[in-house]
Amino acid sequence: MKVVRAEIIAIGDELLYGQIVDTNSHWISQELDLMGVKVVRKTTVGDDRKDILAAFASAEARADIILITGGLGPTQDDLTKPLMAEYFDCPIVENPAAVEAVTEFFKQRGREITPLNILQGHLPTCCTYVPNEVGTAPGMWFERYGTYWMSMPGVPHEMKKLMTGFVLPKLPTLFPLPVIVHRLIKTVGIGESWLADLIRDWENALPSTIRLAYLPSLGHVKLRLTGFGQDKVEIEKDIQKQIELVLPSIEKYVYGYDSESLESAIGKLLTSNKKTVALAESCSGGYISHLITSVSGSSSYFQGAVIPYHNQFKEGILQVKHQTLDSFGAVSEETVKEMSRGVRELFKADFGLASSGIAGPNGGTDEKPVGTIWIACAGNGFVETKKLQLTQDRMLNIQLTATAVLNLLRICISEK
Amino acid sequence: MKVVRAEIIAIGDELLYGQIVDTNSHWISQELDLMGVKVVRKTTVGDDRKDILAAFASAEARADIILITGGLGPTQDDLTKPLMAEYFDCPIVENPAAVEAVTEFFKQRGREITPLNILQGHLPTCCTYVPNEVGTAPGMWFERYGTYWMSMPGVPHEMKKLMTGFVLPKLPTLFPLPVIVHRLIKTVGIGESWLADLIRDWENALPSTIRLAYLPSLGHVKLRLTGFGQDKVEIEKDIQKQIELVLPSIEKYVYGYDSESLESAIGKLLTSNKKTVALAESCSGGYISHLITSVSGSSSYFQGAVIPYHNQFKEGILQVKHQTLDSFGAVSEETVKEMSRGVRELFKADFGLASSGIAGPNGGTDEKPVGTIWIACAGNGFVETKKLQLTQDRMLNIQLTATAVLNLLRICISEK
């Protein structure tokens, strides 16, 4: 089977001057890899006619499909559309469907459309118009000499919508793609090298048709199993067999599979156990509530939260005793215990979670340096607590605290 | 003055398959941009002989300096060194200084050196050896036909050390570099094309030594002014003059300059006005509190927040009237007014902010479709409200609500 070769061209001075990070190319690479399309090159060029045309020409000489992001805004420095028209040698004319879509886009938002915006509905005659449902710059699809081209806006959520709605479903109709199956086993609460030690024998005995990768991130490690073959159902069965073999060694760290996030896994656990949760977030400042409520349907198990950034509100709203704060301080096991009990009571929830710590970069002492954080989970007749000793970085401390609190809740739901 | 053109070549399969994000290219771009070296292209290629050699050849035809990262590990899939030797047509031999450095590296860490590692001290005879103080793969410097080349490991902190210790200080000795100054004007609450309409005359009258770019993102638009010349102080003065000329047209949308974020700008506004804030977040679920508390020092103006995800807590904790919820519903101007007043009272804050809406993707009705969101800001003797009609996407709605709420607070602090 011929390898399908893709290239990505990202256009924009802001990418070359280092003002924004190009997350688009990374996301596109991942999606294509999952489908068995090989990305052979990524090129970033600025808003410069000669450089853009040269990138088009050299990509066309190599690639089966070319994905272009950026340079589609309404302003004068956006060159992609005129240069694609020049490269494919066809004029730009009004595309009635595209003009109607951009007009409707503004109308629905109750905003006045400008002449510049109407021009976004004018397209090269040699492209197929691909509607952009979440923005004003249309997608453009080109075909020539056996190479396919897709031009998309650089705004990530617009590009993703065009990829998942149009490009990715189209690929299997254009190319014979190999059958590849990916599964992710998602773990939390164990580091990469400890996990590797636990599963070494299993890893060494994997068949050659299944590849394993460790993908670590903030307190989580994902194990990716990739199976290759001819028959999807067979590959899925083989992978499932391997998962069942490894699971007994790592079960207590596994919170889900594939696209499951820790917060959505917890949502399912709460729902199936008919339990609810409330939070008292001090040092995590709302971030854990944000993660929980970013899951659609969370209102059925998330009761609410309090972020008491000062001691008087820990006392007044959460009924933490004045004496507890006085004797042990806000960052202490005793205080997070009372906070978790207090918020559970206030919101009539089954579980009450609490965090209190020194997120940094200032506010540390010899006894409680920056990164000292206490967390708690209160339930019916118990409170579990844990002390974390994290980093000097405020944002990292907030994120690691969130993972630890969610994992503590996961363990409490499972074990109580 | 001739423009100095740089290209970056990142080598490694892991960059093409989307397994890791290439932060190196972004960092190198920023550093070169600050020195007035123009990055004209970034290329990412896999561990493939033909692709790497083709990237070398096309970069050499265009660039004055070529920065290469990756492909320098000790294993067989690392091709950069043998291919550079092939490309520059010279043999790889033992470099005594490099062998000594790598031997010393292992010795200092108390680790046994392997034959593979010793080979890292063997280098092409046509390169200048550049010691890597924090890793085992040396830097390699090449010069040919007026183009300079630097090959560095892909490990970010090793690459940075070689750049800051060797490449960046060397550049001004190789090229006469221009002086470049960047300023960012940061706006919120106005779209890119409306902003362009407001400042068109000013933009068209900009001197040729100052370039303008629009950088839009979620509810924000940044205007980047780039000035070129001989004298840094003169350029800064010229840019400042242009900022003063454009400011009257856009002042009410400008929240800051350069690295300022909206949440840190608000922190400064609150601090300088000696005011405090508290939040009642319903549909935004903690995200706005998270943004505010991600700023170090926010405890001096952030009093706290309540996330009352159900009506009973809007009533019980925030004193929203039962009748208000009954008559108008939770997503209504009346309810967010009472929420903002209630949370201001509860936390004894100068400003109380509130959000209530249907974040989606479910829960919409004909009268209040998904994306309908009410926000409010209560202060001493006033409540400002605003209705937002956003998207179908839950996460996007949460982020856009946060920008709108923070902007409403900014306006209230400035105007009241």
State pLDDT tens for residues A343-388: 999 999 999 999 999 999 999 999 999 999 999 999 999 999 999 9
Q: Do B285 and A292 touch (CB under 8 A)?
A: yes
What stretch of H or E contains A372?
strand A372-379
A262-282 confidence digits (pLDDT tens)? 999 999 999 999 999 999 999
Across residues A225-246, what is the average pLDDT? 94
Q: Is B111 left (phi over 0), alpha (psi -120 to 50) or beta?
A: beta
Per-residue pLDDT, averaged over A158-180, amounts to 93
Q: Say which amino acid occupies A202.
A: W
Chain A residues in contact with B288 by the CB 8 A cut-off are 286
Q: Report the residue from A26, A157, A309 with minimal CB separation from B396.
A: A157
Contact B375, B401 (CB under 8 A): yes
Residue corresponding to tokens 């052979």 = A40
Instruction: Tell me the CA distances in angstroms from B35 to A50, A246, B6, B176, B179, one per residue in order.
Output: 24, 53, 12, 11, 7
Rounded CA-CA distance B32/B163 in Å is 10
Nearest CB among B40, B290, B361 relative to A296 is that of B361
Domains, chain B, ordered by start: 5-174 (3.40.980.10), 179-257 (3.30.70.2860), 266-415 (3.90.950.20)
A133 phi and psi, to 5 degrees? Answer: -80, -15
* Rounded CA separation A414/B255 (Å): 47
Give the whole-number percent of chain A exceeding pLDDT 90: 81
User: For A253, which DSSP code?
Assistant: G
- Answer whether the bond into residue A156 is a cis peptide, omega within 30°: no
Vertex B288: Cα angle to B265 and B414 (nearest 5)? 35
Tell me which residue in A16, A308, A394 faces B29 most closely, judged by beta carbons. A16
Write out the two tokens for A30.
């991942």
pLDDT tens per residue, range B62-108: 999 999 999 887 766 789 999 999 999 999 999 999 999 999 988 88
Strands A122-124 and A128-130: unpaired
Distant-in-sequence, close-in-space partners of B198: CB < 8 Å, separation ≥ 6: B190, B249, B250
Q: Considering only CB atoms, which chain B residues are within 8 Å of A45? A: 40-41
Q: Which of B157, B67, B29, B260 is nearest to A22 (CA)?
A: B29
Nearest CA in chain A to B402: A290
**Cα-flanking dihedrals φ and ψ of residue A126, to 5°?**
-90, 5
Residue A1 has pLDDT above 70, yes or no: no
Backbone angles phi, psi at A66, to 5 degrees: -120, 125
- SS3 readout for chain B: CCCCEEEEEEECHHHHCCCCCCHHHHHHHHHHHHHCCEEEEEEEECCCHHHHHHHHHHHHCCCCEEEEECCCCCCCCCCHHHHHHHHHCCCEEECHHHHHHHHHHHHHCCCCCCHHHHHHHEEECCCEEECCCCCCCCEEEEEECCEEEEEECCCHHHHHHHHHHHHHHHHHHHCCCCEEEEEEEEEECCCHHHHHHHCHHHHHCCCCCEEEEEEEECCEEEEEEEEEECCHHHHHHHHHHHHHHHHHHHHHHEEEECCCCHHHHHHHHHHHCCCCEEEEECCCCCHHHHHHHCCCCHHHCEEEEEEECCHHHHHHCCCCCHHHHHHHCCCCHHHHHHHHHHHHHHCCCCEEEEEEECCCCCCCCCCCCCCEEEEEEEECCEEEEEEEECCCCHHHHHHHHHHHHHHHHHHHHHHC
- B311: nearest CA in chain A? A303
Chain-centroid distance of CA A124 in Å reads 34
Residues of chain A contacting B285 with CB distance shorter than 8 Å: 289-290, 292-294, 298, 302
Helix B49-60 × helix B80-88 angle, to 10°: 50
The closest alpha carbon to B156, from B23, B67, B265, belongs to B23
Contacts of A14 in chain B (CB under 8 A): 213, 215, 224
Contacts of A11 (CB under 8 A, 6+ apart): A44, A45, A46, A47, A52, A68, A69, A70, A71, A79, A80, A154
Residue positions counted in chain B: 416
- Cα B150–Cα B152–Cα B153 angle in degrees, nearest 5: 170
CB contact under 8 A, A17 and B25: no
Give the distance from residue B100's alpha carbon to the nearest chain A alpha carbon, in angstroms. 30
pLDDT for A191 equals: 83
Of A18, A58, A111, the CB nearest to B29: A18
- Rounded distance between C-alpha atoms, residue A215 and residue A221, angstroms: 6
Give the residue-averaged pLDDT of A82-105. 96
How confident is residue A236, by pLDDT bands cut at 50, 70 and 90? very high
Strand partners, B69: B10, B152
Number of H helices, E strands in chain A: 17, 17
Confidence of residue A7 (pLDDT cuts 50, 70, 90): very high
Q: Do B21 and A20 make contact, defined as CB atoms within 8 angstroms?
A: no
Q: Of A166, A186, A204, A317, nearest to A247 (Cα)? A: A186
The tokens for A211 are 């590849």
Beta carbons within 10 angstroms of residue B297's beta carbon: 14
**DSSP structural state of residue A177:** P
Per the DSSP assignment, residues forming a β-bridge with A68 are: A9, A151
Q: Which residues of A touch B42 (CB under 8 A)?
A: 15-16, 42-44
CB B78 within 8 A of CB B21: no
Q: What's at B138, amino acid-wise?
A: P
% of residues, chain A, pLDDT over 70: 100
> Do residues B314 and B354 make contact, with C-beta atoms less than 8 angstroms apart?
no
Low-confidence stretches of chain B (pLDDT < 70) are 1, 75-76
Eight-state DSSP code of residue A331: S
Judge whether B318 and B308 are in contact, CB under 8 Å.
Answer: yes
- Among B3, B17, B282, B318, which would you mutate to test the A interface (most chain A Cβ atoms within 10 Å of its Cβ)? B17
Instruction: Look at chain A and count its residues.
Output: 416
| Strand arrangement of the beta sheet that strand A139-144 belongs to | A128-130, A139-144, A147-152, A65-69, A5-11, A38-45, B38-45, B5-11, B65-69, B147-152, B139-144, B128-130
**A55 to chain B: nearest residue by CA?**
B41
Which pLDDT score, from 0 to 100, does residue A323 have?
Answer: 97
Residues of A in contact with B313 (CB under 8 A): 303-304, 347
- According to DSSP, the β-strands at B179-188 and B254-257 are antiparallel
Residues of A in contact with B393 (CB under 8 A): 134, 157
pLDDT in the model for residue A156: 93
Q: Which residues contact B72 (CB under 8 A, 6 or more apart)?
A: B78, B80, B81, B120, B137, B151, B152, B153, B154
Contact B263, B256 (CB under 8 A): no
Backbone φ and ψ of A350, nearest 5°:
-75, -35
Q: Would the pLDDT of A16 be above 80?
A: yes
List strand residue ranges (DSSP E) for A167-301, in order.
179-188, 210-217, 220-229, 254-257, 277-281
- Chain A: closest CA distance from residue B94 (Å): 33
| pLDDT for res A35 | 87
Most A CBs within 10 A among B35, B41, B224, hence the mutation to make, goes to B41
Q: Taking chain A, what is the end-to-end CA distance rounded to the nearest angstrom?
A: 53
A299: which chain B residues are within 8 Å (Cβ-Cβ)? 309-310, 363
